[in-house]
Structure 1
């Protein structure tokens, strides 16, 4: 795992794109503050850049560096949820402009998975996490299901957890409105 983290860090620091395991499904990722890297992720996924992607962080204390205001209810949700949950916040800032939704929002998930936690902690920035599939195809639920075109398009493929065969699931998605109202997007 440590060699993978070292290699992935080098690629991220150079503006590259990685394929990596997360606390949910395998993800395509890059530096969430680098517009060119984010553009490459959209190209690899063959996805319209009007469809925003989420970012992973390792610690809820970092959220305030990337959104204008962190509602108390968001911190409560992070603390009590028992499955990976992405929260969509208003007022995104300090991220690549092509990553932020047209309404100014961004989806953020705090990862509990050991590899991504250490990677993000050592990188000191959030990392894009979008499902490792071509847009329109079903998300790969484990490494063996990832389209070879994705594997060949990224700059580094993490070896850690490639042999796992369990079927992973995407995160829940909750949107917190500017009035602090909660909307469940995906359970």
Structure 2
């Protein structure tokens, strides 16, 4: 199913359809402030396993991030965030960043990597944040199962043509990007740049 949502004012009826799909263990492709991502409800284990099968990855080794609405749920999924780190997160988010933080007990066990960390993302995108707000908990997020994000994967209609038999809903929120988020590891004594992406590391540290 291809559902078109207005980037500024997502249709409440369509949002309800998407949230019901996620609660039923569905997998969606949705826009962010960077590339289009693939996701599911973090509490739906079967959906997480399904995404791992789609991407041919082991859940224990997968590098997923959580799409959150804002930082109000941060303490639910990340533990021991010190004041300087929290200030940096507040400065950077919403925005094209993924922050790796120590995972709390509420993070599903199958999603914890050996290091016991979680990637937190608050995209500057109304659609993805509206979905999370309606759902009431984060979406597990990963990149599409493709070799590289090229021009065609910025077009939701082409994405739908390629993945309509693999996922339940593709959301058309307008053209996507081709650059990933900037990944910052906050588990050490100083923030460490892991991947340079759309967000500027220098601007937030």
CA contact (8 A) 1:38 1:96 kept: no
Aligned with residue 63 of structure 2, among 45, 52, 72? 52
1:181 correspondence with 2:193: no
Q: 1:8: how far off?
A: 1.0
Alpha-carbon distance in structure 2 between the residues aligned to 1:12 and 1:121: 13
Residue 46 of structure 1, CA deviation:
2.1
TM-score normalised by structure 2 residue count: 0.79
Aligned mate of 1:27, from 21, 37, 61 = 37
Shift of 1:125: 0.3
Residue 97 of structure 2, aligned match among 79, 82, 85: 85
1:71 to 82, 104, 113: 82
Q: Which residue of 1 aligns with 2:111?
A: 99
Structure 2 counterpart of 1:169: 179
- Deviation per CA, 1:6-39: give whole Å up to 9, x if none: 2210111111111111121111110112222111
Count of equivalent residues: 181
Q: Report the Cα distance in structure 1 between the residues aligned to 2:181 and 2:19, rounded to whole angstroms.
A: 24
Counterpart of 2:165?
152
Aligned to 2:38, the other structure's residue is in SS state: strand
Q: CA distance change for structure 1 residues 139 and 4 in 2, over 3 Å: closer, same or farther?
A: farther
Aligned to 1:152, the other structure's residue is in SS state: coil
**Which 4+ runs in 1 deviate beyond 6 A?**
none
SS at match of 1:158: strand
Say if 2:76 and 2:104, in contact at 8 Å, map to a contact too: no
Structure 2 portions without partners, runs of 5+ = 6-10, 197-205
The 8 Å contact of residues 78 and 85 in structure 1, kept in 2 or not, is answered as no
* Residues 1:118 and 1:13: Cα distance change in structure 2 (over 3 Å): same
